Amino acid sequence: MTRILVINGPNLGRLGSREPEIYGSQTLADIEASLRERLADAGELDFRQSDDEATLISWLHEAADTASPVILNPAAFTHYSYALRDACHIVSEAGVPLIEVHLSNPHARESFRHTSVVSGAALGVIAGFGAESYHLALSHIQTLLERQ
């Protein structure tokens, strides 16, 4: 059974209370529960969150080493973390699917959020659909796994 790694970056542990007008009222635990329900017995979900860039990078290295598909919400690291981008590239170069997700649409927000240094290393980007962004990414990863 394939393990799917869901990695969440800085401040996402504050979902539900942090700027609900932008990010919605669901907590990260709510999103995790809905993904687990959707996946059911079709695979293993490994759901993680850290505010620490080095931790996120080590998790991406782990994904590359174990061939675990990744759903990544890099949060604010999206815009400037070249180290995180390079770790994403390692995952992609290993032939492991990595999909970048965002709850909000970065292009509809402040101009500094319009740039993603991570996107070029991802298979695709899903943004602006709230928690559904994660579900869309999971659906595509399931499709890819079925094709193998």
Structural domains of the chain, with CATH: 3-147 (3.40.50.9100)
- Which DSSP symbol is given to 148? -
Other beta carbons less than 10 A from residue 118's beta carbon? 25
Q: How far is CA 96 from CA 24, 62, 90, 136, in A?
A: 30, 11, 9, 17
Tokens found for residue 95: 């032939």
Percentage, residues of the chain above pLDDT 90: 70
The catalytically annotated residue of 79, 80, 89, 102 is 102
Q: If 0-12 CB within 10 Å is exposed, 13-18 middle and 19+ buried, where does residue 12 land?
A: buried
Tokens found for residue 26: 């669901």
Other beta carbons less than 10 A from residue 126's beta carbon? 20
Task: Reply yes or no on whether 80 is catalytic.
Answer: no
Task: Reply yes or no on whether 82 is catalytic.
Answer: no
Q: Name the helix (H) or strand (E) containing 44.
A: strand 44-49
pLDDT digits (tens, 9 = 90+) for 94-115: 999 999 999 977 765 667 665 7
pLDDT digits (tens, 9 = 90+) for 15-64: 766 666 666 678 999 999 999 998 877 789 999 999 999 999 999 999 99
Give the pTM.
0.91
14-23, 70-79, 128-137: least confident range: 14-23
Q: If 0-12 CB within 10 Å is exposed, 13-18 middle and 19+ buried, where does residue 72 land?
A: buried
CB 101 within 8 A of CB 134: yes
